[in-house]
């Protein structure tokens, strides 16, 4: 019995949905991301990667990252590009909405606080970036 082409297409789409859809870091990588606080305006995440640990592809809305430790990380993006980032403890960076896969390249743990903007704050941040 031959399956119609439409069934093959549907199965293929279902297989790629997890890869293509934006996924919440705290849901898909609870090992590294812990929600500390959340309200209608922000969500605050505690992020910890052990030496040479890697995440999974996930997304964040616009926000601010505050580095608690010196770190050397590689960020891989869905289009295959990568970016290496070195940060010092105390550095703070605004981050636009992003989908990425982080990896701690260092021999020590990497700790970051991520403050994700929600609602009107996120929409304003996206507008300002254009």
The residues, ordered by sequence, that sit 6+ positions from 120 with a Cβ below 8 Å of its Cβ are 41
- Which CATH number applies to 5-129: 2.60.120.10, 3.90.550.10, 3.30.1330.30, 1.10.1740.10? 2.60.120.10
Tokens representing 63 are 């926000």
Strands 58-60 and 63-67: unpaired
The domain locations on the chain are 5-129
pLDDT at 119: 79
pLDDT recorded at residue 113 = 98
* CA 104/CA 53 separation, integer angstroms: 5
The overall average pLDDT reported for the chain is 86
User: Which residues of the chain carry a pLDDT beneath 50?
Assistant: 1, 5-20
CA distance to 26, 44, 57, per residue, from 125 (Å)? 22, 17, 23
Q: What is the pLDDT of residues 106-128, one digit of tens each?
A: 999 999 999 999 977 666 666 66
């Amino acid at each position: 019995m031959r399956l119609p082409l439409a069934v093959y297409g549907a199965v293929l789409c279902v297989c790629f949905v997890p890869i293509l859809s934006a996924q919440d870091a705290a849901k898909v990588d609870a090992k590294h991301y812990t929600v500390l606080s959340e309200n209608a305006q922000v969500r605050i995440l505690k992020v910890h990667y052990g030496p040479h640990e890697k995440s999974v592809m996930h997304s964040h809305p616009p926000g601010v990252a505050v580095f608690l430790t010196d770190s050397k990380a590689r960020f891989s993006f869905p289009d295959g590009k990568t970016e290496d980032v070195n940060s010092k403890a105390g550095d703070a960076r605004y981050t636009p909405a992003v989908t990425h896969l982080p990896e701690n390249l260092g021999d020590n743990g990497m700790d970051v606080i991520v403050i994700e903007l929600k609602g009107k704050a996120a929409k304003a941040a996206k507008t300002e970036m254009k």
